[in-house]
């Protein structure tokens, strides 16, 4: 059963990413299977990617058989044009076939729209990677230079003794470049191809009067060079030391809250010592008090009381003008709280 007319293959079931998401997807592809740095790209990488483009994406076949693709230097092309050594079983020229010739005069790149690179070949931060050597934690800064833009021209020729085959190949190329440009990915770096010119070179005298059609497709690759030898890995700061200056005048003494009741003449001294505050301090007595009870609330093991330098225990009497020195035994990392309860006299 044949395939219905208009039947579509390779239907995309998932929506394609666009904008920022598409740029991130392209960056992830460049970094795929790389050790933090992108893979470099040189002339041989672009040549190999263009050959794959002709072989796998154009993938031109005749009667179900893929026709051969030959990559030639400019010198090898001149030799082949003279000798035509690509022959079949009976020493006849086997057609159709495709040749690819890269022009050796690589030009200054135009993919930056006339913008220039920064002079001096500086490197720029690409990624920062945390590092741990078992003792210290730090960061390694991976840097790369700006790529060098290049324009490379490839000449693609199809040789055939049937105009129908030339037309089919021409149609396939035109379809691929129907949106002006097509991308290839040398080492996962997306680079545009432009179809610049289509020519005819069918009048070749070395075919012994046999009729051959030769059609030329001139394709411009707007690429760039990234040399891995120029990549850098620079250690950043291993650790940061923080200094805190503490003023000697800072009051780090516990807080005393005095609550008195004029009606029943009761008084309560509530002492609150925050974490890391002093555990020994003094306070002046403003009125005459009789302290009757010590009430421990939180994080206090014991309390030492000295009145004008003499140790006292509750109950005791403190007169106005005397100095009460308090020493708290506690866990200094936690808040401590206790109360002295008594009455005015």
Per-residue confidence band for 94, with pLDDT thresholds at 50, 70 and 90: confident
What tens digit of pLDDT does each residue of 132-142 get? Answer: 777 777 888 98
> Does residue 328 carry a pLDDT above 60?
yes
What tens digit of pLDDT does each residue of 6-19 get? Answer: 556 666 666 777 77
- Considering only residues 232 and 116, tell me which one the structure prediction assigns the higher pLDDT: 232
Contact indicator for 104, 75 with CB cutoff of 8 Å: no
User: What sign has the CA pseudo-torsion 328, 330, 335, 341?
Assistant: negative
State the Cα torsion 38-120-236-147 to the nearest 10°: -10
Task: Kindly state the helix (H) or strand (E) to which residue 339 belongs, with its residue range.
Answer: strand 336-344
Mean pLDDT for all residues in the chain: 83
What tens digit of pLDDT does each residue of 61-80 get? Answer: 888 888 889 898 777 766 66
3-state secondary structure 77-141: HHHHHHHCCCECCCCCECCCEEEEEECCCCEECCCCCCCCCCCCCCEEEEEEEEEECCCCEEEEE
Q: How far apart are CA 214 and CA 202, in angstroms?
A: 5
Q: What is the pLDDT of residue 249?
A: 45
Query: What kind of architecture, by CATH, is found in domain 255-344?
Result: Sandwich (2.60)
The CATH H-level superfamily of 19-108+149-229 is Myoviridae tail sheath stabiliser (3.30.2000.40)
Q: Domain-by-domain residue ranges, the chain?
A: 19-108+149-229, 255-344
Q: Choose the weakest-confidence range: 42-51, 180-189, 207-216, 281-290.
A: 207-216
**Assigned token pair, 300:** 């206090």
Q: Which ranges of the chain would DSSP assign to H, the alpha helix?
A: 19-31, 43-52, 74-83, 163-176
pTM of the model as a whole: 0.58
């Amino acid at each position: 059963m044949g395939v219905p007319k208009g039947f579509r293959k390779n239907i995309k079931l998932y929506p394609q990413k666009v904008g920022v998401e598409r740029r991130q997807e392209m960056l992830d592809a460049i970094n795929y299977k790389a050790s933090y740095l992108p893979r470099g790209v040189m002339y041989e990488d672009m040549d190999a990617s263009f050959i794959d483009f002709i072989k796998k994406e154009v993938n031109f076949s005749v009667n179900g058989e893929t026709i051969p693709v030959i990559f030639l230097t400019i010198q090898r092309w001149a030799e082949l044009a003279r000798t035509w050594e690509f022959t079949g079983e009976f020493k006849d020229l086997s057609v159709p076939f495709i040749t690819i010739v890269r022009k050796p005069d690589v030009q200054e790149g135009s993919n930056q729209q006339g913008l220039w690179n920064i002079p001096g070949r500086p490197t720029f931060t690409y990624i920062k990677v945390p590092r741990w050597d078992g003792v210290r934690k730090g960061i390694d800064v991976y840097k790369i230079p700006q790529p060098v833009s290049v324009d490379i021209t490839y000449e693609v020729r199809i040789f055939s003794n049937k105009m129908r085959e030339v037309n089919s190949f021409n149609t396939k190329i035109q379809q691929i470049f129907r949106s002006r440009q097509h991308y290839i990915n040398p080492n996962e770096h997306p680079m545009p191809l432009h179809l610049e010119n289509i020519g005819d070179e069918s009048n070749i005298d070395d075919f012994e009067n046999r009729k051959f059609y030769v059609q030329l497709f001139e394709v411009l690759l707007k690429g760039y060079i990234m040399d891995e030898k120029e990549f850098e890995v620079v250690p950043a700061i291993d650790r940061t030391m923080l200094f805190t200056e503490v003023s000697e005048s800072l009051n780090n003494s516990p807080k005393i809250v005095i609550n008195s009741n004029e009606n029943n003449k009761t008084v309560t001294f509530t002492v609150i010592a925050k974490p890391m505050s002093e555990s020994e301090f003094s306070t002046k007595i403003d009125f005459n008090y009789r302290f009757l009870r010590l009430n421990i609330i939180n994080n206090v093991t014991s309390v030492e009381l000295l009145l004008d330098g003499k140790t006292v225990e509750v109950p005791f009497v403190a007169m106005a003008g005397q100095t009460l020195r308090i020493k708290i035994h506690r866990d200094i990392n936690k808040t401590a709280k206790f109360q002295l309860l008594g009455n005015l006299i």
